Every structure is written in C-alpha cells, then in structure tokens.
Structure 1
Amino acid sequence: MPTAEELLRGQGLRVTRPRVAVLEVLTQGGHLEVEEITRQVRARLDSVSTQAVYDVLGALSRAGLARRIEPAGSPARFEARVGDNHHHIVCRSCGTIEDVDCVVGERPCLDPSAGHGFDVDEAEVTFWGLCPACQKTRQADRAA
C-alpha cells in the first residue's frame, strides 16, 4: 500500500505535515466527522487548526483521495475509500455508518432515467435502518 506521501505526490499535491496526518487518519478506516479527524491529527501534530483540517479535507476530496458523505441530519463525514462508487447504510438510531458495495459492481451502479446531458460517473445511495446493536436495544425495550 502506498504511503500518504506517495499518494499526495501521485495526485500532484504538495506534501505537508497536516496533509500527511489527515490522510493517515482517513486511511485507518471509518466515516469520520471533522471533529474526530481534528482530534486524531492533533494527537500526531501537537497543533493544527480546525480550519486547516477543513482545508486539507477539501484538497484531498478534490484530488480524489478522500470522499465526503453527508447522510441526512448528520454532519459531513469523510473516508479514504474512493473510486469504487460504493454506497452506505446508516443506523437511524445511533448513526453508525457502514459501507455497502455496489450492487452491479460497475460505475455508476444506477443510471438516471434522464441524464440531462451530464456524463454520470457516480451514483450515491444511502440505505437507512437499525444496526444490530440498536435492534437488540429496541427488542429489550419492548420486552421490558
């Protein structure tokens, strides 16, 4: 797996300590809010502003090294899994987000009935439901 520095250089981005730290946090996995990314980056770099983290995330997203997702009613989250047009499933109760691979396996997974002249390269689908832990809690609440 390429290093953060190699990924940044590969996309023509300048290698800076904040960019490396943010990319390393993202590549550990998950769907992280900016607050959590900032906390983890600060643990690596002593000092970094929240605005600097937003700026880095913007640059990484534009370069295709990070993906921004915004489930309804939730703050923006970021992930390093890019380029495969996967989707997400979100728990309505606790907000847990998991990846869902593309149903068809091609980009895009869905074709719009009217493309309006766009060259469609991605389809974003969010599934909603209850995660296993929240299902157990709900069942326990009903039994009580």
Structure 2
Amino acid sequence: MASAWALIEDAGQIFFIRRALDLGRGGQWCPPGGTIWRNEWPEVACVREAFEETGLRVTVRRPVAKFESAWYFVCSLNGSRESMSLSKRECIDGRWVYPHEILGLGTVMDLRRIIPLLDLSGFKAPMMPRGLEPAVPEILF
C-alpha cells in the first residue's frame, strides 16, 4: 500500500509521533503519516493523515522524495502547536525535536530513509549510525 508522510516543520523543529504499541512497528518514532486512499493524491493523504494523527493543520510546502510506495513531504504548521491532539488509537507520544537530535528519541522508524530525507529537506540531519547504509530514493523532487 502507498503511504504519505509529513515532515512538519515549525521554528526549526520537526514533529515526530510515537506509534501505538499495538500497531505495526509499535513504539517506534516517525513523522505523522499513513495510507494513501484509492484515487487520493499523495499530498492530500499527507495533510489528512497529519491531522488525523495529531490534530495539527498543515500545508504541504514541497515534496522531498519517494521511496518505493512511500511519499515524503515537508509541511508547514498552520496555527499553533497547542492545537495538537494525538489520536490515542495511533499515537502514544508526540515531540517537537531539532532534526539533528532525532536519534535521542529512541527507535526511529525507517531511519535509513529519515536521515537522508532530513538532509534532502535542508535540515541539519544527524550522522548516519555506523553500519547503517542510507536508503536511496526512487524519485527526488
């Protein structure tokens, strides 16, 4: 299934959620995102998923990359951080972090993709952990 993911930026920080423990990859940190519905544009899915999971309204600034069937977008926050309301069904935590500090969160989902994505998005990304090879996007925008 195709998916869309939001790198929501505000004041130099990116928002990450911690997935609910009973979901696939439970307990891992990732940007908000999820399944693209049939006939749905990836950008629309990105905005919808970000809102469903976090309660945050976002605008897609630009696409960054596509890895296989996963689309990644840099998004701007519309409104304030205080409007956040995590979906209890999908998220057990949410945090604003500076991109170079994401390794301090714990286990990050798709780290082989996330670090290159942050770099490609113009953020200061952390160094790739030793022994981990970065994933190569299928499409760069």
- Band of TM-score, shorter chain: under 0.3
* Greater strand content: 2
**TM-score scaled by length of structure 2:** 0.25
**TM-score scaled by length of structure 1:** 0.25
Larger RCO (alpha carbons 8 Å, 6+ apart)? 2
* Greater helix content: 1
